[in-house]
Amino acid sequence: MRKISDTMARLATLHARHAASPGDIGAAHHLSALTAFGSNPGALQAKCYLPDSLPEGAPLVVVLHGCTQSAAGYDHHSGWSQLADEARFALLYPEQQRSNNPNLCFNWFQPADVKRDAGEALSIRQMIEAMVSAHGLDRRRIFVTGLSAGGAMAAAMLACYPDVFAGGAIIAGLAYGSAATVPEAFDRMRGHGGPSNEDLRRMLRDASEHRGPWPTISIWQGTSDQTVDASNASAIASQWWGVHQIFSVPPRSLTDGTRTRQSWHDASGEVVLEVNMIAGMGHGTPIDKNRLGAPGPYMLDVGISSTQEIARCWGIADEEKTASAGSRRTIVVHSPPPTRAQTGSKPTATPLEPSAATKRMREASPASGVEKVIEDALRAAGLMR
């Protein structure tokens, strides 16, 4: 059983890491502010980047930073604007404010902020519309990506607005609807409990009235992530299997150095879902400093540019340049036929029951001294207002 003291210790560690890891270290501030984009119910800020002589009908990539990070910091370390210059697409960076979350996390665990046409989700949707309308961008090529809390918010945007996005990439994130309270958020991050795979798929279908076609999904996760457990990558993949109707489709597996990529294809042979696991990588965005971006807090130089690989998956980056960026030998392994879990007869994994400590936290009265201590710690960690 998980002890409350263990939860408190982890909260203290998380808060210390956030305090010691400002997201703007070495950041180049060349993003422009986007203002007056709508009613902005989520009270977010917005930055954008437009390469010189951007052609009419260019794609738009929406990038959501992680906790303690800023738009400029994430752009600098990930290399998105550098790739935008090369591949000719526009960038939009929604940005959290400390008045919403002390550690600048997007509030992916607050139901009011991850609902279609409400809260932070609607603010981001309004930013997208402002960018498309002002710059003549291609509505058929709008994409979203994010890290950690930004990854979880990207998952929420894809679920709430599948009619808006052609594709999305979730880095060390969590499935849409996996948490609706702060204690649940911590449990899910650690790989404890959570809705069943069937419930996750139902929540995705119920998030909007859209019935297809569905965005292409790219999932990225480190196997040694101590902040967001790697089991969350499987939960995200399972959530999207249903709408893409790939239960009976065996994945193709490719291993290249530390990266293992599993991909599922539709009837036409196009990739609709991929999961990229990086062996030994901790919590952060994988980058290749020799190609794009620069190392920094939660921006991990593992010799793999997820920025470039994600753009390749979406079809908005030069395939030849992407291929030439890595010269390691590749081993391709075709997976065996799907198991009953893959076909949907059973969930892909048996969800763990919430721990006794979590149940006590949920059942405690508002006046409980234990709950007050926990709530104070959660606020200090930026996970509760």
Q: In which band, very low, low, confident or very high, does the pLDDT at 247 lie, cut at 50, 70 and 90?
A: confident
More confident residue, 223 or 331: 223
Nearest Cα neighbor of 162 from 220, 249, 240, 263 is 240
Q: Would the pLDDT of 200 be above 70?
A: yes
Q: Would the pLDDT of 224 be above 60?
A: yes
What is the rounded average pLDDT for all residues in the chain?
83
**Rounded Cα gap, residues 149 and 284, in angstroms:** 11
What average pLDDT score do residues 260-288 get?
97
Q: Identify the architecture of domain 4-380 in CATH.
A: 3-Layer(aba) Sandwich (3.40)
Q: Would the pLDDT of 320 be above 60?
A: no
**Rounded Cα gap, residues 236 and 217, in angstroms:** 9
| pLDDT score for 1 | 38
Q: Are 283 and 226 in contact (CB under 8 A)?
A: yes
Q: Who's near 2: CB < 8 A, 6+ residues apart?
A: 192, 355, 356, 357, 358
What average pLDDT score do residues 328-347 get?
36
Q: In which band, very low, low, confident or very high, does the pLDDT at 30 lie, cut at 50, 70 and 90?
A: confident
Query: Is 236 in a helix, a strand, or coil?
Result: helix
More confident residue, 274 or 9: 274
Nearest Cα neighbor of 154 from 143, 163, 146, 162 is 146
The domain ranges of the chain are 4-380
Instruction: Judge whether 335 counts as a catalytic residue.
Output: no
Q: Of the residues 78, 148, 178, 306, which is catalytic?
A: 148
Strand partners, 274: 218, 263
Q: Would the pLDDT of 19 be above 50?
A: no
What average pLDDT score do residues 107-114 get?
98
Beta strands at 60-64 and 142-147: parallel, antiparallel or unpaired = parallel
**For 180-194, 229-243, 275-289, 333-347, which range has the lowest pLDDT when averaged over its residues?**
333-347
